A = this chain, B = another copy of it.
């Protein structure tokens, strides 16, 4: 099904207005103190289709902390560096438990279930660090985001990074635990330093939707023609997003939205309609599983109105 640019723009505008008006907004994450200051009324939505049409609604140009959405890009970067050997360190099965659970690590000898729970993303960060010095690793990740988003103004929010570094004891536990099994190679403080910083990258919906286009289009940005990954790798990253991208709410997201997607506790979600569009949505209030409450509802409305579910029309 092809969607005309004007139809797309009107659907996006409608949804942005509906979401603005809803009283149910979820709960803004408070465990990272700096994130708790965000306006819970914010809502942004950007869809970029195969032709490059950008349909934007709401706070589409307000930067927010991408948090765990960065895990999609560090996974992409690390796969580019070490290839499928990455999967010796990280699994690709849904975890059946919350984003920061440590129980599974004990039963599976330090190997995290997938790269989109915290432990898995920390292990991926460690792989990047084994190829770069800490400062360079972080620079590499940030530059990758800037290139994908075609915007060199993207920066790390140092206040958020510092806030996590002061309070991220649970992530500290995960990293030390994996280190005790030899799954982490580099010093724990370095790994966590890079991890906290790449989670603290601030982006707008417009930038994020642009950065995600290669996943919707066989690994290549259809406007620049720039090839980021081979087509098979793009499909596979999408598959991991679908089964693991929303922690213990991944089944629910697949059931309601029907698109591969990755959420962050900053309230953002990057979603991919293969062959059709790259989508970024942002609303800071979270549901019980730690995913953006209105973000998911907006995406459900979008895929239903446009018939974009990958599970059938």
Q: Which residues of A contact B (CB under 8 A)?
A: 91-97, 101-107, 113-114, 169-170, 172-177, 179-180, 188, 215-218, 231-232, 234-236, 238-240, 242-244, 248-252, 254-255, 258, 260, 274-275, 304, 309-313
Contacts and interface: CB of A to CB of B under 8 A. Distances in A.
Contact of A173 (B104, B176, B232, B275): B176
Name the prevailing secondary structure of the A interface residues.
Answer: helix
Nearest to A167: B180
B251 A235 contact: no
Going nearest first, the 4 A-B pairs with the smallest beta carbon separation are A96-B96, A94-B94, A172-B176, A173-B177
Contact of A235 (B91, B97, B103, B311): B311
A93 B250 contact: yes
A179 B258 CA distance: 33
Contacts of A216: 312
Q: How many copies does the complex hold?
A: 4
A95 B96 CA distance: 5
B255 A251 contact: no
A81 B271 CA distance: 33
Contacts of A173: 102, 172-177, 179-180
A248 B310 CA distance: 22
Given A218-B312, A235-B309, A255-B236, A177 B169 contact: yes
A113 B93 contact: no
A174 to B, nearest CB: 7
A81 B102 CA distance: 33
